[in-house]
Amino acid sequence: MTPDHIEITAGDERIAVELSFDRFRSLRISVRPEGVVRVRAPLGASLRFVRESVQAKAVWIARHLERFRAVRPVRCLEYAHGEPHAFLGREYCLDVRCGPGPRGVCLADDRLEIACRIPPEPERVRKLLDAWYMEQAREVFARVIRELLPRFDALGVPRPTKLKVRAMTSRWGTCSRAGVITLNRHLVKAALPCVEYVAAHELCHLRHHGHDARFYGLLAAILPDWKQRRARLRREVVL
């Protein structure tokens, strides 16, 4: 039976890694803010190949784990009145109200006002807030990409065929070979320069699918300060 965990070492540290197999062509490694390391390997890959491949990335994994340990811990959200929630790099306190009239979410000064027609149970508040975040994410991401496209057009980079927004747990964005850009709904909680960085990163993949020197050269031509933006995003744990 194939194990569901393996272990690697980085210096004196032993790191447990969750292992699963899926229909991917390549091995995928993710490091979560809560300190979980996950690996999804191609079906049929040998355990030896997986161990050696993950061990080769041990320094990268350890660096990400250390970065997550250095930032504020991930909060367990309760969706209660007064709880802070982020939007475009700022925190707003939930102002949950129950009464007649339409239900929904709106920004008001430093508050996220949530109106419910029936007593605001946490799950009901969560659903209203998730729907609001999705609506805002679609609007913000579309605007950011629209504003970035002229820079890419000037360099002859193809345009995306479609923009998708969905909640993801370990990636800020993806770009398919068909030109579909997918951005993480949670990204709308980060500051606008971070949103622009992720959008530009994925748009660069329309020209260069890998992360080689040509890719980073294109990214630097679009956003000369992309490293600072990336560092800021990594400090803002909003997933």
* Residues 197-232: tens digit of each pLDDT: 999 999 999 999 888 899 999 999 999 999 999 888
Q: Compute the distance between CA of residue 85 and CA of residue 186 in angstroms, rounded to an integer.
A: 11
User: Do both 174 and 222 map to the same domain?
Assistant: yes
In a domain, 77, yes or no: no
Q: Say yes or no: 98 and 170 in one domain.
A: no
Q: How many CA atoms lie within 13 A of 103 on its CB side?
A: 15
- Give me the number of domains the chain comprises: 3
Give the position of tokens 């007593």.
Answer: 119
Of 169 and 141, the structure prediction assigns the larger pLDDT to 141
Closest CA to 78 of 62, 91, 96, 60: 96
Quick one: 207 and 177 in the same domain?
yes
Average pLDDT score over residue span 57-83:
76
Lowest-confidence pick of 61-65, 77-81, 199-203: 77-81
Question: Which two three-digit tokens encode residue 13?
Answer: 């540290």
Q: In 3D, which of 186, 190, 180, 106 has the Cα closest to residue 145?
A: 180
In Å, how far from its chain's centre is CA 28? 15
pLDDT tier for residue 125 given thresholds of 50, 70 and 90: confident
Q: What is the pLDDT of residues 172-195, one digit of tens each?
A: 999 998 999 999 999 999 999 999
**Residue 78: inside a domain:** no
Tell which wins on pLDDT, 228 or 77. Answer: 228
Residue 223 lies in a domain: yes
**Domain extent for 188:** 134-235
pLDDT, one tens digit per residue, over 103-122 is: 778 888 888 888 876 667 78
User: How much is the pLDDT for 1?
Assistant: 46
Q: Strands 37-42, 13-22: parallel, antiparallel or unpaired by DSSP?
A: parallel
Give the three-class secondary structure for 45. coil
